[in-house]
Structure 1
Amino acid sequence: MKLVKIFIFFQFFIITLFADVNLYIKDKVVKGEPLVFTLEISGNEIKFPDLSLIEGNSVQEISSSISTNVINSEITKVIKKSYSFIPTKDFIFPSLEFEIDGKKYHTDEKNIILEKASKTKSDIFDLSIKTDKKEFYVGENFILKIVFKHKKDLQIVGLALGKPNFENFWYKQIDDTKRYEENDFSVIELKFLMTPLKEGNLTINPMLLQAQVMDDSFRSFFSTTKDVNIYSNELNFDVKALPSNIKLVGDFEIETTIDKQKVKHGEAISYKLKIKGTGNIDDIPDIKLPIKDVTIYENKPEIKTYISNDKYEGTYEKVYSIIPNKSFTIPSINFEFFDKEQQKVISKTTKSYDIEVEDAEKREEVVLEKAKDENKVLESKEIIVEKISFKDRVMFFIFGVLFTVLVFSIYFYINRYKNIKKEELKPLSKKVKETKTKTELIKILAVYMKIDSRLDELIYQLEKVEDVNIIKKHILKILKELKL
């Protein structure tokens, strides 16, 4: 018995000896990049802690593997798992508790520091962000270029540009990617349309490009790759506020047209407004016409934009339909924007239009014709009245009755024939839709048995159900396919 206890104790000692927990984690990470940590646990029965959240950050499992070790005839399971999350500030990575083969193990705490990204310096690749200017006004558009260079002989398997973090900027990628060669480098150039949303000193942080390149450090028959993070420079801007009550910056032209200036009562006038130019044309508000005592129908403004010579250009068009009750004036529209070249607010005004409405109630003089004095000659005629006997009257009455009966008979016969013909020509689908009961539906469809197996099956189902509406839908669908 003692030998058994000693054997059990020895076995437990061996298992415990091989139980272990190792945490692999870096103590520094670039802000905005995922922090990856790996846990390697040896044992047989292993209980993991809850790793869904660390420091309030959502944790994702990115890889997992299980292997076995055999030491002194003892088999031990080894679990290796990797996780990642994106921290937002410096923090202490907590101690993690594991239960392995009935015993608790703890990892050590780690102090994690977030570093600011800095431009990657390399002889084989380079990532840069550029603009023509560094001073802008709120709402002013400009082009940001992202330029990636790499040695021609560098074997790149894949490229992935990190999601831009253009805080305090509105942005849109322009479909104008360029590829060219410059000395010993291959160059890829991307463009973004940028708009500052607030005044002050604004910064665009270094951008991240993840490259997967062939790794020549391993001399073997098998090709291997490695991931490389490449950072750009950062850009700082001085953004100024626009003058009070001004939201547009650029250079614009405005014009209006009408189709007529003289209309009849209740007739519509078409009034068109068009603005074109360079600048933040998307920010032009929906322009209303301040006209009283008229009915105005208006479309939503149609805005079209495009890039031309690295400038954001476009048009704003809106059409109004005006129905007046009386003569009136379409007032001028005052349009203001800030011209950066002239460093002042420009005000442009459209012309006004005087609209004349004709009086719809035109009075017409009524001329009464005088009666003509004409001598009318009255001619006297002799009227001969033939007397009809009583017998003839009876005969005429009988013939009249027979003729009336004949006319009505012909009318009803023709009307009934038309209805029968119409019923015969009525499409089967329409007949099915008009049925009210199961019996009517079966009666109509019975003659169409053996045409389609699906239709036959639905007809058989009709006899077993009370509510035929659902089956009727399926029948109509099949009849539509069969063109019945």
Structure 2
Amino acid sequence: MIMIRFLFLSIIFITSLFSDVRLDLPKNSIKGEALNFSITISGNDIVLPKLDLIASNSVHEISSSISTNIVNSKIIRSIKKVYSFYPQKDFIFPSLKFIIDGKEYFTKERKIVLKTLGKTKSSLFDLSIKVNKKELYVSENFLLTLVFKYKKNPNIVDLSFEKPNFDNFWYKQLKESKQYEEKGFIVQELKFLLFPLKEGVLKINPLKINARLFVNDSSSVFSNKMSNIRIYSNELELDIKKLPSNINLIGDFDIKTKVDKTKIKQGEAVSFKLEINANGNIDDISDIKLNLDNATVYENKPKIETKYENGKYIGKYTKVFSIVPNKSIIIPKINLEYFDKKTRTVILKQSDEIKINVVQDSVLTTNQLIQKPIAKIKEKEVIKVIEKISIKDRIIFFTLGIIAGILILGLYLYVIKYKVKRKSNDTPLLKRVKKAKNKNELLKILAVYIKIDSSLDKLIFQLENENDIKLIKKDVVKRIKEINL
């Protein structure tokens, strides 16, 4: 009797375990695709395990829902969470620990085997991928073409291309695409430009397209039912070779520089433009800096323009610097190294060295004063004249005084109004300049206006070497008004 009671309690315990925690996990998964699993927990006080990593793979929660049920007059909360991650090889799904209403529950470990699917064989569909070369170097671009064929069939309801996950490759989808008919099939081509990120034998896993179509089902009340089909392409292997050490560019590159002038006055700015044209991985060019002694350098962000044309990935890297030299300087050569696949050598390209001459302003000084002899002033005889003023003249003078007072008051009001109007007509730049409290604030405001006006450039240069900015600030305000900035 005791044994039967023990077995009965054990069955109740096991049943309650599976009713409180349920893990839905597929036995197998497809390599290169997401593995989704769900956890359903019932209880009031629930503590979930931390699920950030499983078998060194990052796990992401993709959905969560909460429901409430009443069982035997008790309110029971139920939580369902769905997670996803991308396993790269066979692994052991670990045991998970849950605390529900103060009790600990554990799921069982489970081995997950990854399957590699082959190309789908179907009379309705065909999906294949091909590349224009299989032996290449790290960062060398190549073209991958996806060709999808499907038969004209009214039962095909929907087709969707699943975004590829090109592991170990950087890629971009090209705008070039084709659609045409061939032997009863509709053919669609998509093109991708890929760049391998590491050396070795790299695989491109099969790409996938999802299809929905109606199929006949004699066992169903309705003659047709909806079916979801996954269509897989072939996989590819590429042999990727390592680039020479300290080299990350491959292709054909050309570098050139130019300035808008080579002779300037002190305080003026020189515009220095750097341009690199390439047939290769121009996106991998590191940001080029310009460090010059005896000069202040301002720079813009580099601009990179690329396109795929006539089977080549070509582009242009442009960067503009504004240089304010303190004295004559030399802009040194800029080096650019890349690997030439044709000659299998590292090539060094250099820009030209450019000399900038700064002409000092000549200042004329005079230490001698030209003095003229002082003429003797003759004493003049002062004659006093006493005039009598009549009442009529006094009335006239009084009237004229009132008129003069009115005119002076009107002129005073006009000047005040003009000043207020003039102040309100100040441009945003003038307002910012006038509000600047120190040299650094004023330099930040004016730095972006270098190269617009040579006189303004000179004032900015003087500002860098002066601590008292009051006089220069007035000249800056005056010049900004003259050039209408």
TM-score by length of 2: 0.61
- Find the counterpart in structure 1 of residue 331 from structure 2: 330
Determine if contact 2:61/2:81 at 8 Å carries over to the other structure: no
Deviation at 1:253, TM superposition (A): 1.3
Deviation at 1:211, TM superposition (A): 1.2
Determine if contact 1:36/1:84 at 8 Å carries over to the other structure: yes
Counterpart AA for 2:169: F
Determine if contact 2:217/2:223 at 8 Å carries over to the other structure: no
- Find the counterpart in structure 1 of residue 405 from structure 2: 408
- Find the counterpart in structure 1 of residue 385 from structure 2: 387
Query: Per the alignment, do residues 385 and 280 of structure 1 end up closer, same or farther by CA in structure 2, a change over 3 Å counting?
Result: same
1:26-56 deviation digits (Å, cap 9, x = unpaired)? 74442425568999xxxxxx99999998996
Query: Per the alignment, do residues 394 and 217 of structure 1 end up closer, same or farther by CA in structure 2, a change over 3 Å counting?
Result: same
Distance 2:295 2:401 in 1: 63
Determine if contact 2:29/2:112 at 8 Å carries over to the other structure: yes
Task: Give the number of the structure whose alpha-carbon radius of gyration is greater.
Answer: 1
Query: Per the alignment, do residues 253 and 153 of structure 1 end up closer, same or farther by CA in structure 2, a change over 3 Å counting?
Result: same
- Find the counterpart in structure 2 of residue 471 from structure 1: none
Determine if contact 1:142/1:311 at 8 Å carries over to the other structure: no
Determine if contact 1:274/1:315 at 8 Å carries over to the other structure: yes
Distance 1:404 1:418 in 2: 21
Determine if contact 2:272/2:321 at 8 Å carries over to the other structure: yes
Spell out the pairing of 1:4-15 with structure 2 (5 A cutoff): none
Distance 1:138 1:412 in 2: 84
Determine if contact 1:198/1:239 at 8 Å carries over to the other structure: yes
User: Are positions 1:134 and 2:134 aligned together?
Assistant: yes
Spell out the pairing of 1:211-222 with structure 2 (5 A cutoff): 211-217=211-217
User: Are positions 1:275 and 2:276 aligned together?
Assistant: yes
Query: Per the alignment, do residues 238 and 370 of structure 1 end up closer, same or farther by CA in structure 2, a change over 3 Å counting?
Result: same
Determine if contact 1:92/1:110 at 8 Å carries over to the other structure: yes
- Find the counterpart in structure 2 of residue 199 from structure 1: 199
Determine if contact 2:217/2:224 at 8 Å carries over to the other structure: no
User: What SS does structure 1 have at the residue aligned with 2:283?
Assistant: helix
1:354-406 deviation digits (Å, cap 9, x = unpaired)? 2222221254789998979xxx9x9x9998946315x5499988976775455
Distance 1:339 1:137 in 2: 11
Distance 1:370 1:416 in 2: 45
Query: Per the alignment, do residues 35 and 368 of structure 1 end up closer, same or farther by CA in structure 2, a change over 3 Å counting?
Result: closer
Spell out the pairing of 1:466-477 with structure 2 (5 A cutoff): none
Counterpart AA for 2:284: D
Spell out the pairing of 1:352-391 with structure 2 (5 A cutoff): 352-363=353-364, 385=383, 387-389=385-387
Query: Per the alignment, do residues 267 and 409 of structure 1 end up closer, same or farther by CA in structure 2, a change over 3 Å counting?
Result: closer
User: What SS does structure 1 have at the residue aligned with 2:145?
Assistant: strand
- Find the counterpart in structure 1 of residue 435 from structure 2: none
1:57-85 deviation digits (Å, cap 9, x = unpaired)? 7787899xxxxxxxxxxxxxxxxx99886
Deviation at 1:180, TM superposition (A): 1.8
- Find the counterpart in structure 1 of residue 159 from structure 2: 159
Determine if contact 1:140/1:279 at 8 Å carries over to the other structure: yes
Spell out the pairing of 1:180-259 with structure 2 (5 A cutoff): 180-217=180-217, 224-259=225-260
Distance 2:371 2:61 in 1: 106
Deviation at 1:156, TM superposition (A): 2.8
Query: Per the alignment, do residues 417 and 263 of structure 1 end up closer, same or farther by CA in structure 2, a change over 3 Å counting?
Result: closer
Determine if contact 1:93/1:112 at 8 Å carries over to the other structure: no
Query: Per the alignment, do residues 260 and 115 of structure 1 end up closer, same or farther by CA in structure 2, a change over 3 Å counting?
Result: same
Q: Percent identity?
A: 40
Spell out the pairing of 1:58-69 with structure 2 (5 A cutoff): none
Determine if contact 1:137/1:242 at 8 Å carries over to the other structure: yes
User: What SS does structure 1 have at the residue aligned with 2:404?
Assistant: helix
User: What SS does structure 2 have at the residue aligned with 1:215?
Assistant: strand
Determine if contact 1:52/1:60 at 8 Å carries over to the other structure: no
- Find the counterpart in structure 2 of residue 307 from structure 1: 308
Deviation at 1:197, TM superposition (A): 1.4
5+ long unaligned stretches in structure 1: 1-19, 40-45, 64-80, 96-106, 424-484
5+ long unaligned stretches in structure 2: 1-18, 66-79, 97-106, 421-485
Determine if contact 1:52/1:58 at 8 Å carries over to the other structure: no
Determine if contact 1:273/1:317 at 8 Å carries over to the other structure: yes
Deviation at 1:123, TM superposition (A): 3.0
- Find the counterpart in structure 1 of residue 77 from structure 2: none
Aligned length, in residue pairs: 373
User: What SS does structure 2 have at the residue aligned with 1:244?
Assistant: coil
- Find the counterpart in structure 2 of residue 317 from structure 1: 318
- Find the counterpart in structure 1 of residue 174 from structure 2: 174
Aligned-pair Cα RMSD in Å: 5.2
Deviation at 1:347, TM superposition (A): 1.0
Distance 2:110 2:414 in 1: 97
User: Are positions 1:287 and 2:250 aligned together?
Assistant: no
Distance 1:190 1:139 in 2: 22
Query: Per the alignment, do residues 179 and 50 of structure 1 end up closer, same or farther by CA in structure 2, a change over 3 Å counting?
Result: farther
Counterpart AA for 1:230: I
Counterpart AA for 1:350: S
Determine if contact 1:26/1:37 at 8 Å carries over to the other structure: no
Determine if contact 2:120/2:126 at 8 Å carries over to the other structure: yes
Determine if contact 1:334/1:348 at 8 Å carries over to the other structure: yes
Query: Per the alignment, do residues 285 and 62 of structure 1 end up closer, same or farther by CA in structure 2, a change over 3 Å counting?
Result: closer
Distance 2:343 2:336 in 1: 17
Distance 1:250 1:49 in 2: 62
User: What SS does structure 1 have at the residue aligned with 2:320?
Assistant: strand
User: What SS does structure 2 have at the residue aligned with 1:206?
Assistant: coil
Query: Per the alignment, do residues 58 and 409 of structure 1 end up closer, same or farther by CA in structure 2, a change over 3 Å counting?
Result: closer
User: What SS does structure 2 have at the residue aligned with 1:233?
Assistant: coil
Distance 1:381 1:258 in 2: 71
Distance 1:231 1:395 in 2: 118
Determine if contact 1:128/1:233 at 8 Å carries over to the other structure: yes
Deviation at 1:282, TM superposition (A): 0.9
Counterpart AA for 2:260: D
User: Are positions 1:349 and 2:350 aligned together?
Assistant: yes
Distance 1:304 1:139 in 2: 18
